[in-house]
Amino acid sequence: MSQLTRARRLLAGALVAGALAIPIASAPAPACAAALEHAALVVDTGSAVTTYCVALPDGSVSGIGLIRLAADQYGLEYRLGYGGAAVCQLAGVGPADGDCFGGFPDYWGYWRGDGKGGWTWSNVGAADTTVGAGDVDGWAWGSGDDGGTHPRPPRTSFGDVCADSSPSPSAVPTSSGSGGTGGGPPLGGAAAPVSDSRSPRGEPSSKGSGKGSGAGAPTGSTAGVVLRTEGGGTAAPSTVLAAARGTTSGPPLGALWSLAAVGLLLGAAGVQRHRRRGDPP
Amino acid sequence: MHPVAWIVWSAAAGIVAMTTSNPFYLVVLIAAAAVVHSSHRRPGPSSRSFRIFLLGGLGAIVLRTALVVFGTVDAENAAAAALEGSRLAALLVVFGTFNSVADPFGVLRLAPRRLHEPALAAALALSIAPRTIAAVARVRQAQELRGIRIGRLRSLTALAVPVLETGMEEAMTLAESMDSRGHGRGRRSRYRPERWEVASGATAIVSGVCTVAFAAALLAGRGGLAPSTFPLRWPDVSPLLVVAAAGFALPGFLPAGRAA
């Protein structure tokens, strides 16, 4: 073997090793998973269920805080009302004007995971609850005054959402418990790079970053977002919106109209005053 | 301008201020009111109303925002409070404009006979604030001319008596003059009826149209009438609604017509 050939082989080997190392290096190590705690958030709009494995930077947070963290980390669209204490809109479903019961009789019902995949109706508002590591919070859109009549999210345990036992992605069984026909494609491809799905600002996999199809096409991360749609396609608009809303946008164009109108009107007022300056006060 | 036109204008502008807390629309509404005021203000103390209510409106914004310190202080809460304050400020400015352009006794003549006395009391009450402020200025000036200098804190008590006296005298004089002109009980004169002129009709119609635009936007849930504060986001601003808000300035560009 000539020296050139050996060098080429070494170089090729180094490149391959490097290429493999990059996803592994960027995937958080198990030690990281233990250091940064997570909680699960399940949002059931009635036509789509989205789950989020939310990192908790401070160890515990209120139910409202969990939603905000999910918005920061995964782009969940939300609107609050009543001074930020009540949930009006999640994932684009619900009133956007601060009147959380504007969609009456439907509203967002708040459920707490009971540790075994089931749900308990929360009697405490989301601003006053505490969500810690390993907890599961659920929100379901529908009508009904209490846990007996209000729809609940599908059975979900913490392990379904945040598979933190192993660092490498494994195929997540797509739960057909929801009975949907669309039931998303198996997340999987164990070979697909994980691409830091767990850390904030990571690739929000269900939002598709442009692949806004209802069936989702998440990169094979399991520790990230699992999108299971029933009856498909309805998640598309919000995913596209979330993808588009990458950075905080500035003032809308109409603001220019407003400022121009104000300038013109105040100018006219000034002219009128000038014209009437001889009038008695 | 017919008094009913001013009532329609003010009611319409007030309704628009109630439909939205979007500052980009409210500021246009306030500017439109400023145009109307500077063009149609009637001579006399009531023209001060605009400035009084404008300052009151700014104070409302500041005060409402300051109340945030009693709860969690963050940008979202402060923004929500400021938006509520600006809605109130717009309402106050509309009212102040009405006060400065409408002849209260022209409005009074429209009242049905049964409501004449309460309406009279209301008309007098509307004019009391600017008249009192003018009285304070006059009394201070008179005292200074007489060489009476009173420190700031004590000036309140020193002013109170003369101002109240002046107020009583003015009220009596006003009542007597109105009585002699036929505003008294049951003796309402129809000598100079108000006429509907083109300017009045145009004002009323345009105000109505602009209000309908905002009402339609409210019902359709579009136009960014309720900016999102949790989370804090820039609101939608529809150029159409900006034009509708600016439409309230129309009377400012129309001739006043016969002084009513």
pLDDT tens-digit readout, A121-180: 988 889 899 998 889 999 999 988 888 889 989 998 888 888 754 333 333 323 333 433
CB contact under 8 A, B249 and A265: yes
> What is the count of structural domains for chain B?
2
Q: Which residue has the higher pLDDT, B77 or B154?
A: B77
The whole-number average pLDDT for the span B190-198 is 70
Question: Which residue, B168, B160, B152, is CA-closest to B136?
Answer: B160
Contact A254 B24 (CB under 8 A): yes
Q: CB–CB of A79 and B28 under 8 A?
A: no
Q: Where are the alpha helices (DSSP H) in A97-253?
A: 158-161, 236-244
Cα–Cα distance for residue pair A170/A163, rounded to 1 Å: 9
Contacts of A113 (CB under 8 A, 6+ apart): A40, A42, A119, A120, A135, A136, A137, A138, A156, A157, A158
Distance from CA of B185 to the nearest CA of A (A): 32
Identify whether B215 is part of a domain: yes
B246 with A265: Cβ contact below 8 A: yes
A251–B contact, CB cutoff 8 A: yes
Q: Which helix (H) or strand (E) holds B48?
A: helix B48-66
Please tell me if residue A17 touches chain B, with a CB cutoff of 8 Å.
no
Q: Say which amino acid occupies B248.
A: F
B162: domain range?
112-183
* C-alpha distance from residue A49 to each of A105, A116, A245, B239 (Å): 20, 19, 21, 37
Residue A21: the pLDDT is 60
* B129/B77 same-domain check: no
When the pLDDT of each residue in chain A is averaged and rounded to a whole number, the result is 70
* Same domain flag for B213 and B101: yes
Q: Which residues of B touch A265 (CB under 8 A)?
A: 28, 31-32, 34-35, 246, 249
Q: Which residue has the higher pLDDT, A213 or B20?
A: B20
Under a CB-based contact definition with an 8 Å cutoff, are residues B213 and B240 in contact?
yes
Q: b/e per residue, B177-197, with b = 16+ CB within 10 A?
A: ebeeeebbeeeeeeeeebeeb
**A269 contacts in B (CB within 8 Å)?**
31, 34-35, 37-39, 252
Same domain, residue pair B130 and B101? no
Q: Is the dihedral of CA A227, A233, A235, A240 positive or negative?
A: positive
Q: Cα-flanking dihedrals φ and ψ of residue A52, to 5°?
A: -130, 135
- Where does a domain end: B183, B217, B239? B183
Residue B225 and residue B103 share a domain: yes
How far is the alpha carbon of B101 from chain A, nearest alpha carbon, in Å?
14
Local confidence band at B22 (pLDDT 50, 70, 90 cut-offs): very high
B1 vs B254: CA distance, rounded Å: 10
B81 and B38 in one domain? yes
ipTM over 0.90: no
Q: Same structural domain for residues B28 and B49?
A: yes
B260 within domain boundaries: no
pTM: 0.69
Do residue B97 and residue B203 come from a single domain?
yes
- Identify from B73, B141, B230, B250 which residue to disrupt to test chain A contact, counting A C-beta atoms within 10 A and taking the largest count: B230
Whether A281 and chain B come into contact, CB under 8 Å, resolves to yes
Please check the confidence at residue A8 and state whether its pLDDT lies above 80.
Answer: no
Residue in chain A nearest B26 by alpha carbon: A258
Contact A40, A113 (CB under 8 A): yes
Both B143 and B18 in one domain: the answer is no
Q: Which chain A residues are Cβ-neighbours of B230 within 8 angstroms?
A: 79-81, 83-84, 98
- DSSP codes of every residue in A208-219: GGG---TT----
Query: Does residue B212 surpass a pLDDT of 50?
Result: yes
Q: At what angle do helices B239-246 and A254-275 cross, to 10 degrees?
A: 20
**What SS3 class is residue A143?**
strand
B34, B71, B236 member nearest A254 (Cβ): B236
Q: Which residue of B has its CA nearest to A269?
A: B35
Interface test with B, best of A272, A273, A276 (most B CBs within 10 A): A272
E-strand ranges in chain A read 37-44, 48-56, 78-81, 86-90, 106-113, 119-121, 136-143, 226-229
Q: Do A252 and B237 touch (CB under 8 A)?
A: yes
The stretch A248-274 carries a mean pLDDT of 90
Helices in A117-199 by DSSP H: which ranges?
A: 158-161
Nearest-by-Cβ selection for A269 from B34, B77, B239: B34
Task: Reply yes or no on whether the pLDDT at B200 is more than 80.
Answer: yes
Residue B210 included in any domain: yes
Separation between Cα atoms, residue A232 and residue A213, nearest integer Å? 9
Residue B7 lies in a domain: yes
- CA distance linking residue A28 with residue A197, whole number of Å: 9
Q: DSSP letters along A68-115, please?
A: HHHHHHH---EEEETTTTEEEEETTBS-SSS-TTTTTTEEEEEEEE-S
Q: Letter for the amino acid at A15? A: L
Question: Quick check: is B230 in a domain?
Answer: yes
Q: In whole angstroms, give the CA distance from residue B35 to residue A263.
A: 11
Note whether residue B193 is domain-resident. Answer: no
Most confident of A24-38, A184-198, A265-279: A265-279
Pick A83's closest partner by Cβ from B25, B80, B242.
B80
Same domain, B7 and B61: yes
CA distances from B16 to A75, A146, B82, B95, B163 (A): 34, 38, 18, 13, 38
CA distance A78 to chain B (A): 7
Higher-scoring residue by pLDDT: B138, B105: B138
Whether residue B223 lies inside any domain: the answer is yes
Residue B78 lies in a domain: yes
- In chain A the domains, ranked by start, together with CATH numbers, are 30-244 (2.170.130.30)
pLDDT band of residue B16 (cuts 50, 70, 90) is very high
Same domain for B102 and B7: yes
Rounded (to 5) percent helix, strand, coil in chain A? 30, 20, 50
**Together in a domain, B7 and B50:** yes
| Tokens 């002046």 belong to residue | B166
Least confident of A4-8, A87-91, A96-100, A212-216: A212-216
Same domain, B90 and B26: yes
